[in-house]
Amino acid sequence: MNENKKTNSIEICKLFGFPHTVIDGGASDDDNKKFISAVIALLNQIETELDNVLLLESEKEQGYYWAFDTKELTRGSMKERYDAYEIAVRNNILQIDEIRREEDYEPIGFNFIKLGLQDVLLNPETMDVFTPNTGQTKNLLTGEERAEDVELRYRQYIQGPDGKMQGSRNVGGSGGNHAKSVDKSEKPDIIKLEDIEVGKSVGAKAKNYDIMDLETGEHFRLVEGTSLQDVEVFAGKGVKAEYRQAEKFAKTYGGKAKDWQHAKGKGTVDFYGEGRKAELHWSQCKGVGKHEFFIKRWLE
């Protein structure tokens, strides 16, 4: 009887295309990979049938399709994942925070891409290239160059008339003759603003905001009756940081470039009927309005 059961078990596994050791025990890494491949093949067939049966032709033309989330099923070992992450970072495929998100770690806010030359850094949002060893920043879009507030220090050795060393002293830092002068603005780093209310009525729809998810290209709106909270201006008019996209927004929507601001806040996005918190960024100008909202990151 037991032999029959074992034989039937093996034959059933053959029908689905995976080794019987996955069920009977003693499966090797190669057996597990074959099992995963067999399951993925079955899921692909199910997805195809779901597309055929449950989607309208118009929905297919819009790019909708059924897909199972197989991320956990195909997730490699820690060593395999970290080796893959190393390659992804080295080739600028992923950033540090994207990797931390995959591993369920909190982001650290390191939004730079390494360009080589050891510590040369690129900010993909502003397209600024910063070279720490020279303190120089260059914008790849405008070609503008500027010196950051980098304190230069070195040690000067003092040589006597007879050629012998008679001591040394530190040069640089605050008050040093060789410290590079940098324009210090009295403007604040940020300006905190009041919460922005989102109306709750049929007529208030027009006062809502179109919000793009940059990762997927999908468009959403805020949940009516909620508000944008922790609103801050961090670039543009009134703060230290220059808003490098101001000229573009002034040409597109009107107003003067010097009056445009880059702002951010936390809002509740209508995510397919459910409220989902996100950090939102947008551009604004008094008398012109708020434009081009996008999701910087999901908060839940």
Note the pLDDT tens digit of each residue in 11-43: 888 887 778 787 777 778 788 788 888 888 888
Prediction pTM value: 0.41
Asked if residue 228 has pLDDT above 60, the reply is yes
- Sign of torsion over alpha carbons 84, 89, 95, 96: positive
Lowest-pLDDT range of 90-94, 189-193, 202-206: 202-206
Q: When comparing pLDDT for 237 and 208, which is higher? A: 237
The rounded mean pLDDT for the chain is 80
Long-range contacts of 114-120, Cβ-Cβ distance < 8 Å, separation of 24 or more: 114/89
pLDDT at 140: 83
**Contact in structure between 228 and 220 (CB atoms under 8 Å):** no
Element of type H or E holding 153: strand 153-159
Q: What is the pLDDT confidence band of residue 203, given thresholds at 50, 70 and 90? A: very low
pLDDT at 270: 92
pLDDT at 201: 57
Average pLDDT over residues 57-76: 83
First and final C-alpha spacing in the chain:
53
pLDDT at 170: 52
Q: Which has the closest alpha carbon to 281: 269, 270, 292?
A: 292
Q: Where are the domains of the chain?
A: 2-61, 113-146, 191-298
Q: When comparing pLDDT for 112 and 193, which is higher? A: 193
3-state secondary structure of 230: strand
Q: Which amino acid is at 242?
A: E
Cα-based torsion angle of the residue sequence 243, 244, 245, 247 in order, rounded to the nearest 10 degrees: 100
Question: How many C-alpha atoms does 235 have within 13 Å on its Cβ side?
Answer: 13
pLDDT at 180: 42
Q: What is the pLDDT confidence band of residue 112, given thresholds at 50, 70 and 90? A: low
Lowest-pLDDT range of 150-164, 226-240, 267-281: 150-164
Lowest-pLDDT range of 128-142, 201-215, 246-260: 201-215
pLDDT at 177: 42
Asked if residue 162 has pLDDT above 60, the reply is no
Task: Concatenate the DSSP letters of all residues of 2-34 into one string.
Answer: HHHHHHHHHHHHHHHTS-THHHHS---HHHHHH
Lowest-pLDDT range of 100-114, 227-241, 261-275: 100-114
Task: Concatenate the DSSP letters of all residues of 110-134 into one string.
Answer: ---EE-STTT-EEETTTTEEEETTT
Q: What are the φ/ψ torsions at residue 80 (nearest 5 degrees)?
A: -65, -45
Q: Which has the closest alpha carbon to 109: 270, 226, 264?
A: 264
Distance CA 121, CA 111 (A): 10
Return the residue matching tokens 């790019």: 63
Encoded tokens for 124: 């993909």
